A and B are shown apart, each in its own frame.
Chain A
């Protein structure tokens, strides 16, 4: 299995809703990432998990809450989002610090619309 699987592919949520994005990989990668991408812009890093521990938080608002239950799963819990949070949310994985010597694998993303 050489894929990163993200669910759902599309999500529409109200500003008072709570929802979760899920990401799964079975490549044995020990680093996982969340990125946010607005239309016609490059992906922006949000969070990095390394060996199931949060190692980088790029000053992301607390309405986004990441979770890494095990080495194969990464969740992003969403609560009280704003319309400007509408974007494509991408998950990626790599072989931890050794990832500099290897590539990241990205999922296809969840397209989130906040209404």
Chain B
């Protein structure tokens, strides 16, 4: 799997937007960009994913650069419950009948303060 680079940590004030960056300069044409987060003492939680176009869901937005070499996860209004480690992961398609891997990098630890 291609590698991603994320800042180790970021801070945000509550109710402000948060932009979490991810660089993936070696992304291939079939790699999907996935974001997961892991709250303390819990398993990772799927946040959002995309291929080329920007994506929105109830949790977040994903902005993908035109060259696909970087992306940004946007939390529109951070809350204390959004404090977690956020992982940006590239995932390619597996071969027919075979699942592909989801390989975690070190992620970004987001702190949200009042």
Binding site for B on A (CB under 8 A): 4, 30-31, 33, 42-45, 48-51, 55-56, 90, 92, 94, 96-97, 99-109
Q: Which residue of B lies closest to A111 (CB)?
A: B41
Can you name 12 A-B residue pairings with CB atoms under 8 Å?
A31-B99, A42-B85, A48-B99, A50-B94, A92-B43, A97-B93, A97-B99, A100-B100, A103-B34, A103-B46, A104-B36, A109-B43
Instruction: Tell me the smallest distance from the CB of A35 to a CB of chain B, in Å.
Output: 8
Binding site for A on B (CB under 8 A): 30-32, 34, 36, 42-46, 49, 85, 87, 91-107
In the assembled complex, which residues on chain B have CB atoms less than 8 Å from the CB atom of A51? 97
- From A55, A56, A101, A108, contact of B42 by CB (8 A): A108
A109 to B45, CA, bound (A): 12
Instruction: Tell me the smallest distance from the CB of A52 to a CB of chain B, in Å.
Output: 11
| Number of interchain pairs (Cβ within 8 Å) | 82
CB-CB nearest 5 A-B residue pairs? A103-B46, A31-B99, A106-B43, A42-B104, A97-B94
SS class, residues of chain B in contact with chain A: loop
- From B42, B85, B94, B107, contact of A100 by CB (8 A): B94
B98 touches A55 (CB 8 A): yes
A96 touches B44 (CB 8 A): no
- From B34, B87, B97, B103, contact of A45 by CB (8 A): B103
Instruction: Tell me the smallest distance from the CB of A55 to a CB of chain B, in Å.
Output: 5
In the assembled complex, which residues on chain A have CB atoms less than 8 Å from the CB atom of B43? 4, 90, 92, 106-109
